[in-house]
Chain A
């Protein structure tokens, strides 16, 4: 009897989890369904559960659209520059923080913790960006978030856990601090650095807020703010008025744009998923 009950509740749990997982996936399935379907059938409302009349017209339009392509490039650019800069700054800072001989280490440490708990807010940061003439340049998307106190804490505690004997023997062999950092600390912490790098990169790709605050010029808009303009503010009617709207419903084009902009993440996700999970674990244990 008891065993019977256990099996039952286990199945119930499985069913509930599968339902939740499906709910999480429904949005993605919907986008695929609409964007790959025959636009005429989409307009007639026939497409609901699965693609009907496989068709790439919507993708043809969105990929030949210059502003979309341009935004895509901006996003790629900010992700590459931003992650490279962020990981350099954060790992160097964290390494410094993790060395016991650093003068004023306690002060710097509490400074970082303070920065986790308390920040200047949107407007002061915005004004700093204006005064440093970063406004409306790609650097506005990259520099303000290059330093993340949370990541620095995680990395610093990782560097600290490296065996100190390695550093000592390198120092005896005549290595300076920078050489210790490049030749010992970095190779030993590749995995942690990779996870932080991945998080930063995804953050850059998905970030919307800084783009709508710091970027005015339409030439510099990254993908996310392009999508906002297109999908939510319905500005696309004007943009596509001449070419598309006669024979292709906006819904098809919107979903195609959404899918195209999410594709990089969907492609990379299965391969790097385990690093993400590992990264959270590091943060959880140390934090």
Chain B
């Protein structure tokens, strides 16, 4: 934590954290006004997290609702659950590298199928426009199944009497889902949504590190990979600490302010 003071210092390794000179907000003003790629990095990061919020976030909810529709007596339920949780326990290195092999030109299975159907190949990993979709799709496959657990837990807490009454009054399945199920898990949805919003500035390092390569750097370079590359790689500690500090602050502000908004709108908070 004390290391954070570096963000306000001109750090040199020989003088140490406490010995280095204070420079006030110089690192920050450099970041916000002169740094050649800071806004670009922020944009890349935000793009990926917003796309994830839009396309990834609803998926676990849908999966949980679907699993919930299968009766517990059906063995399929347990099988499906076991299978969709599994990718969560494998590292991004493993999952990502298998995915890369799928998408390889010539040898990858996806391109083989494409070649059969259209006669053309797509260089998925080296084309800029494919990078973001790939990040989202791999995220869905790896984490959506596991993400559904929390919603399932919330779903299992709904009293069956509510459904019985609704059936007596002639509600259809769709009505039951929209009028009973979704309102009952809205607390969980809001809590998780707020936590996701708090992480907008911080996309997972490992996924990007594994999936990105030099040819997609223009969209694949995000704040965390930049901090690693320039901070650890080129020993530019002060500036990268400032970026990290910026990230954490934005996260904190986002989570507190959205929490306040939620309190006003729905009278719900996460703590």
Contact = CB atoms under 8 A, between A and B. Distances in A.
Interface in B227-255: 227-228, 231-232, 237, 240-241, 243-245, 247-248, 251-252, 255
B89 A265 contact: yes
Chain A, interface size category, equals 35 or more
Nearest to B240: A123
Interface in B97-138: 97-102, 107, 109, 112
A121 interface: yes
Contacts, number: 179
A206 B90 contact: yes
Interface of B: 1-4, 6, 16-17, 63, 66-67, 69-70, 76, 79-80, 82-87, 89-95, 97-102, 107, 109, 112, 141, 144-145, 149-150, 153-154, 172-173, 188, 198, 205-206, 209-210, 224, 227-228, 231-232, 237, 240-241, 243-245, 247-248, 251-252, 255
Interface of A: 2, 6, 9-10, 13-14, 16-18, 20-25, 27-28, 30-31, 45, 48, 117-128, 131, 202, 205-209, 212-213, 224, 227-228, 231-232, 251, 254-255, 258, 261-262, 265, 269-270, 273, 276-277, 280-281, 284-285
6 contacts: A6-B173, A13-B70, A24-B87, A206-B89, A254-B101, A280-B149
A272 to B, nearest CB: 10
A265 B93 contact: no
Contacts of A207: 91
Given A123-B231, A227-B93, A231-B93, A280 B98 contact: no
Contacts of B93: 206, 208, 224, 227-228, 231-232
Contacts of A17: 63, 66-67, 70, 76, 80
Q: Is the interface of A mostly helix, strand, loop or mixed?
A: helix
Contact of B4 (A6, A124, A276): A124
Contacts of B83: 21-22, 24-25
B17 A127 contact: yes
Given A123-B6, A213-B232, A284-B150, A27 B80 contact: no
B79 A21 contact: yes
A103 B48 CA distance: 44
A205 B70 CA distance: 34
Contacts of A231: 93, 97, 100
Nearest to A270: B82
B14 to A, nearest CB: 12
A41 to B, nearest CB: 13
